[in-house]
Amino acid sequence: MEAKVLGAEERLSSIEYDIFVSLRKEIAVECARIQKAAESIATLDVFISLGRVAAEYQYCRPILTDNGDLVIKDGRHPVVERMNSSEQFIPNDTEIVKKESQILLITGPNMAGKSTYLRQNALIAIMAQIGSFVPASFAQIGIVDKFFTRVGASDRLARGQSTFLVEMIEVANILNNTTDNSFILLDEVGRGTSTFDGISIAWAVAEYLHETPGKRGRTLFATHYHELAEMSLLYSRIKNLHIKVKEWNDRIMFLRKIENGSCDHSYGIQVARLAGVPRKVILRAREILANLENMELTPDHKPILARHHESNQKDQTDLFNGIQLNAMDSAHAELVHQLQHLDVNGLTPLDALNLLADLKIKALSLGN
């Protein structure tokens, strides 16, 4: 009896294992059928899920073409619009016509939605090519052979690779492997190095994609380098877009709407204020920015970054890019006031010439 009791647990384990082996053999015989059933269920689950969200969230049926264009009306990000319940998602249009607007240069402040706009267009194209309806009111997608992204900032410390090196490796991969039918997302290329180097690299990358046969993929290029906006004047298939913001009471409101043209302000200081940077730092940053914008230089022609202004009063700027009205004499103020209230559309050609001559005389007198 003692032997039976002591060996019961061992026999129990043996019996359990025998049952397990027997069951495993039976399942193995039906393995192919089980895997096929699982694959069918998974496929059905995907189609049901895509169909459900398409019906619930007003997706449209995309039109796939081979002309290389990409036209999206009221496009939305399928994830962001569902995750952010605090504000309504603002839809945006995208129109890349390869013979007219192959590269879209997008400017706007941080937090305005540039990266979301880039990603949503790529996701819409991917969803269209897997057979899904897409989050838009209309979508015509030219078939994409490769998707490339240079988005975000990261380093690879274990490999001894800095953030900028990683960025350049990714850019090199894009430039070496893209085709005319590719879709490219470039977000802040060149930001990991000095301003002049960054502008030079970003310009050269956009120029390469525009000018090199076989590499002219559809491109969305988000940047803070406003100098790149001039490329639209030099290259026929580069178009400027910006994300609209509204300034009010020294604050900015993000309207999230894509519009034609470039943005000439980054609003970095306002964004820093929104993030909770101490007021003293914000005020000092404004002083330094004013010094830079007004080209206040030392005798050896370097910006006077250390100079403190007597007042932190908000600078009022006119169309001459940052001249401070509170530092002007009455003659300056009068001239600026005249320009600001000038009705250009109401002038005849003769009136315009006479007015221009008068303004020139006043400006020359101010310079003396």
Q: Does 154 have pLDDT greater than 50?
A: yes
Tokens encoding 26: 């039976």
Q: What is the pLDDT of residue 33?
A: 92
Q: Does 326 have pLDDT greater than 60?
A: no
Return the half-sphere exposure (C-beta side, CA atoms, 13 A cut-off) of residue 163.
Answer: 10
Q: Does 329 have pLDDT greater than 60?
A: no
pLDDT in tens, 111-139: 788 889 999 999 999 999 999 999 999 99
Q: Does 269 have pLDDT greater than 90?
A: no
Of the segments 79-88, 137-146, 161-170, which one has the largest average pLDDT value? 137-146
Buried b or exposed e, range 204-213, using 16+ CB within 10 angstroms:
ebbbebbeee
Average pLDDT over residues 267-295: 83
Cα separation of 55 and 67, whole Å?
Answer: 29
pTM of the model: 0.71
Tracing tokens 């580069």 back to the chain, one arrives at 238
Q: Are 76 and 136 in contact (CB under 8 A)?
A: yes
Of the candidates 72, 63, 86, the one whose C-alpha atom is nearest the C-alpha of residue 135 is 72
Task: Give 305's pLDDT tier (boundaries 50, 70, 90).
Answer: low
How wide is the angle at C-alpha 93 spanned by C-alphas 88 and 99, nearest 5°? 165
> Which residues, in sequence order, are CB contacts of 52 under 8 Å at separation 6+?
none
pLDDT in tens, 25-77: 989 999 999 999 999 999 999 999 999 999 999 999 999 999 889 999 999 99
> Which residues, in sequence order, are CB contacts of 316 under 8 Å at separation 6+?
324, 325, 326
- Report helix, strand and coil shares of the chain as percent, to nearest 5: 50, 20, 35
Looking at per-residue confidence, does 303 or 212 come out higher? 212
Out of 41-45, 53-57, 171-175, 289-293, pick the least confident.
289-293
β-partners of residue 246 are: 253
Q: What is the pLDDT of residue 191?
A: 80
Cα separation of 216 and 100, whole Å?
Answer: 12
Cα separation of 270 and 21, whole Å?
Answer: 68
Q: Are 95 and 71 in contact (CB under 8 A)?
A: yes
Q: Are 162 and 90 in contact (CB under 8 A)?
A: no
What is the homologous superfamily of the domain 63-261 according to CATH? P-loop containing nucleotide triphosphate hydrolases (3.40.50.300)
Buried b or exposed e, range 311-342, using 16+ CB within 10 angstroms:
eeeebeebeeeebbeeebeeebeebbeeeeee
Q: Would you call 140 helix, strand, or coil by DSSP?
A: strand
Tracing tokens 């020359």 back to the chain, one arrives at 364
Cα separation of 336 and 334, whole Å?
Answer: 5
